[in-house]
Chains A and B, each alone.
Chain A
Amino acid sequence: MDLLNNLGIGFHTALTLQNLLYAFFGAVLGTLIGVLPGLGPVATIAMLLPSIYTLDATPALIMLAGIYYGAQYGGSTTAILINVPGESSSVVTAIDGYQMARRGRAGAALAAAGLGSFFAGCVGTIIIAAFAPPLTELAFKFGSAEYFSLMVLGLVGAVVLASGSLIKAIAMIVLGLLLGQVNTDVITGTARFSFDIPELTDGIGFVVIAMGVFGFGEIIANLGQPEEHREVFTKEVKGLWPTKEDFKEAWPSVLRGTALGSILGVLPGGGALLASFASYTLEKKVVRNPRVPFGKGAIQGVAGPESANNAGAQTSFIPMLTLGIPPNAVMALMVGAMTIKGIQPGPQVMTSNPELFWGLIASMWIGNLMLIVLNLPLIGIWIKLLTVPYRFLFPAIVVFCCIGTYSLNNNSFDVYLTAAFALLGYVFYKLSCEPAPLLLGFILGPMMEENLRRALLLARGDWMTFLNRPLSAGLLIAAALMIVVVMLPSIKNKREEAFKEEG
């Protein structure tokens, strides 16, 4: 009954007044940015990182986690009501959700999304609690070679699952790895690529890149497009409770979405976005004769992806918590947050900080409970928010991002660098280069280099060490297989088809 015991510790921690408040704050903030298009969890968490210096580690992480899964709830509201995904992971929800809203069934769509997300969130939390301890044990068997191979697998996974050109995605990862090389070499203490600028010898902050490319880059891209006409279905949200048929149709989709999302969330490069795409494709395959066809307002097309993205958001915590390796950009920021609080992420966290570890897990369940209340009975508040025009929103985002970057180290240099990355972000946008793999490469870069060099040092320069060690070899073979599989013509077409869904 270790699990119950551990969860006991967790709930004991999570149920203190302070931690409940921060969980609530995270959930509210997450919903807020989820509802607002053009501001995602990556930029928001990056913005908040400086402020957690004044907090304890546990409430800080509880709050940041709440923002991530809260955004999954909020994103669906915008997708359903105005056909604009509030969050990238709600892109597919917009397809059928918006059609349901147009037929006056916005309430049922919102309820299916909310209840599905809640169920998936509960299951996701249980999965983390059950699988984290055994994975942690495995992680202790890992040496430098295994860590290196695992990161290779992670980066390959991120590419395979990204949309768009495969080679360009790999190139973006390598570019990210290179940007991570601007630092002081950990082994010899040589300053690299710093051009004698003292601020650069500490490396470029990932918050600087995240804010520049994701925060400002997106604002510029949004402003560059003519303002679209938005039709908001605000008055028609009534009758939140779905009908009996809705329930009967949505339940199997919720179960499938949850299962799929839980698996895909753990995979490197996975998380909420991929889970929702995959689930929509699966629903279209499985549900042969829907009452309402897909694309015309099928409730399965809302319930499945929404459950999947929330399950994926939950389980993507597993690699971060057990191995210290972030599977996506949000988890990379969580690793950053832990480092700020002086906790070295990795398998030892569970034993050295049990309150933090189990408290965070328990808080996810509590957070999901808060979110279902925030998002269904209180939906009216968020709908009001959607009527705020963008010309009021973007100056606010600019202000918060600016203050956030400045207060990182209290210096102007970071702000200048962010401005430069904003320009670069727009270049990436114009050249259709996905920035997410770049951020992942940037974060894993220094870790990868350290492990590569240490593994080579231990093996006296023998590159075969990565293949002679069975665990490491297995991981590398898995990575190679992934690339081969995506290159196969039949899969390649399927992959392109799956990502065209948004069009």
Chain B
Amino acid sequence: MKIKSQRDFWSGLMFLVVGVVFAWGATEYSFGNSARPGPGYFPFGLGILLALLGGLVLFKALTLESEGGDPIGDIAWRPLLIIAGAVAFFGFALPRLGLACTLPILITLSALAGDEFHWRDVLISSVVLTVGSWALFILGLKLTIPLWPIYITG
């Protein structure tokens, strides 16, 4: 069997697996009956529906010819991992290190994801954005975000 459309093949597989997982998970909850539908009723039906749709996409990907095999192409690992990692780091660090320390690190990290990296530009961005965020979010909108590391302020 030959895959005729890469993109459709993988998306079909994704829908199929997710649908089955949700439907299987839904069996843990009371199903009820149609006169008194329980919490498992709707997700079970949807999970089955998604799995069927996934199967259909998969079937088409294996049978219908598409232009050039519809390849997925190169995956941009660098920006993908750096940006997702930087965001996760922000979530971890903000309540511990505070805005003043977390933002410059976040900005430096995410700048690494781009094609060009200049320390001067990163420094400018860090200063402008950190001060700007402090003024906008803490001073202006009065959000309760820690500014300094908890180790300093106690």
Contacts and interface: CB of A to CB of B under 8 A. Distances in A.
Interface of A: 50-51, 54, 165, 167-168, 170-171, 174-175, 177-178, 181, 185, 187-188, 190, 192-193, 216, 219-221, 223-224, 226-227, 390-392, 394-396, 398-403, 405-407, 410, 412-416, 418-420, 422-423, 426-427, 430-433, 449, 452-453, 456-457, 460-463
Contact of B79 (A177, A223, A413): A223
B149 to A, nearest CB: 15
B34 to A, nearest CB: 4
Contacts of B103: 399
B76 A167 contact: no
B7 A431 contact: yes
A405 B34 CA distance: 39
B95 interface: yes
A457 B10 contact: no
Contacts of B38: 188
A387 to B, nearest CB: 15
A416 B143 CA distance: 20
A402 B110 CA distance: 12
Nearest to B35: A461
A219 B42 contact: no
Given A171-B57, A226-B115, A396-B125, A403 B145 contact: yes
* Size band of the interface chain B makes with A: 35 or more
B97 interface: no
A337 B22 CA distance: 29
A24 to B, nearest CB: 16
A405 B86 CA distance: 14
Contacts of B36: 457, 461
B101 interface: no
Given A51-B143, A396-B125, A402 B87 contact: yes
Contact of A174 (B35, B46, B86, B121): B46
Nearest to A190: B39
A391 B35 contact: no
Contacts of A192: 26, 29, 39, 43
Interface of B: 7-8, 10-11, 14-15, 18-19, 22, 25-26, 29-30, 33-39, 41-43, 46-47, 49-50, 53-54, 56-57, 60, 72-76, 78-80, 83-88, 90-92, 94-95, 103, 106-107, 110-111, 113-116, 118, 121-122, 124-125, 129, 133, 137, 141-145
Contacts of A463: 34
B31 to A, nearest CB: 12
B139 to A, nearest CB: 13
Contacts of B87: 216, 398, 401-402, 415, 418-419, 422
Nearest to B129: A399
Nearest to A459: B35
B73 to A, nearest CB: 7
13 contacts: A51-B141, A165-B8, A181-B22, A188-B30, A193-B43, A223-B115, A224-B80, A403-B145, A412-B95, A415-B88, A415-B90, A430-B75, A461-B33
B47 to A, nearest CB: 7
Given A398-B83, A432-B7, A54 B115 contact: no
A396 B125 CA distance: 8
B1 to A, nearest CB: 20
Given A171-B15, A457-B36, A219 B83 contact: yes
B137 A456 contact: no
Given A174-B49, A398-B106, A223 B125 contact: no
A416 B34 contact: no
B92 A412 contact: yes
A193 B11 contact: no
A171 B39 contact: no
A453 B42 contact: yes
Contacts of B34: 456, 461-463
Given A224-B79, A406-B145, A419-B88, 5 more contacts: A51-B141, A178-B50, A185-B39, A395-B110, A399-B129
A409 B113 CA distance: 28
Contact of B50 (A171, A416, A419, A427): A171
